[in-house]
Amino acid sequence: MILLLEDDPAIADTVAFALRREGFDVEHRGWLAEARERLRSGPPPELLVLDIGLPDGNGLDLCRELRGGPLQYLPVIMLSARSDEMDRVLGLELGADDYLAKPFSPRELVARVRALLRRAQPVPAMNHGFTVDGSRVRLDGQLLNLTKLELGLLLKLLAAPQRIHSRDTLLDAVWGTSADSGDRTVDTHIKTLRAKLREAAPARDPIKTHRGLGYSLEP
C-alpha cells in the first residue's frame, strides 16, 4: 500500500488514479495530522508520497520525524511546487529518497515509485526467520500486519538479537519522550506483537521475557 499525502484534490486524484491503474493500493490523506495518525495506528505502508506544503504544517517535518523513529526505512518521495536546487537538496538531506517538482508527469511518478520499491530489497535479519523490507517485515515468509509501535519494538529487538532490552530502553527507542507511556505500555504491545508472530508462525515464540529485566529476541 502507498500512502499519499497531498492537500490538492485534483493532484491527489490524478496521482491515485495513475498508481491504482498500475496495480498499487493507495490511501489518500490531505492533512498532516491525518497522515501522522495513520502512520501511528495502522499497518505501515510500503512507500509514502509526501507533499511539502500542507494546510496544517510542513511535510519536511514529517520526513524528519520518520527518519528518527521506527519507520526510518520507509521510502519517501517528496512532491513540491518548489524546484530550486536548494529546496531539492534540503528535502533529500532531511531523508527523502526522491524529490519531484510540480507540475510533474504521473507516468514519471509511477516510474519513480517502481524504481524506489525495487531498490528496497528484502534484507535477512540475523537468521531468525525474519525478513525486513523497508517498513515491511516477514516471518518465515509471512507478511506481518504490524502497527507502528509493534514494528518499532520488533526492529529494536532485531537490531541486537539475544541482547536483553530493558523496558526503559524500549520506551526511549519507540515512544520517545511520551509522558503517557510506561512499563505496562511496553508489556501490552509486546503481548500483541507476540500474538501476531504466533499467528504467522505458530511453532515459534522468538521473543523471550526476562523477569525483572526486559525482553530479548532469541533464535
Whether residue 111 is found in the same domain as residue 17: yes
Whether residue 181 is found in the same domain as residue 109: no
Of 118, 108, 116, 120, nearest to 18 by C-alpha is: 108
Whether residue 23 is found in the same domain as residue 113: yes
Cα 105 to Cα 11, 86, 102, 137: the distances in Å are 11, 22, 9, 32
Query: Which residues are CB-contacts of 182 (< 8 A; sequence separation ≥ 6)?
Result: 171
**In angstroms, rounded to a whole number, what is the distance separating the alpha carbons of residues 149 and 23?**
28
Instruction: State pLDDT tens for residues 44-96.
Output: 888 999 999 899 989 889 998 888 777 877 899 999 887 677 777 888 888 88
| Four-point Cα dihedral 46, 49, 52, 56, nearest 10 | -70
- Indicate the pairing of strand 123-125 with strand 98-101: unpaired
The pLDDT, as a whole number, for residue 43 is 79
Q: Which residue has the cell 524528519?
A: 64
Residue 84 one-letter amino acid: D
Whether residue 132 is found in the same domain as residue 189: yes
**CATH no. for residue 11?**
3.40.50.2300
**CATH no. for residue 168?**
1.10.10.10
Whether residue 174 is found in the same domain as residue 140: yes
Phi, psi of 76 (to 5 degrees): -130, 130
Whether residue 168 is found in the same domain as residue 105: no
pTM: 0.58
**Residue 96: domain span:** 2-119
CB contact at 8 A, 6 and 104: no
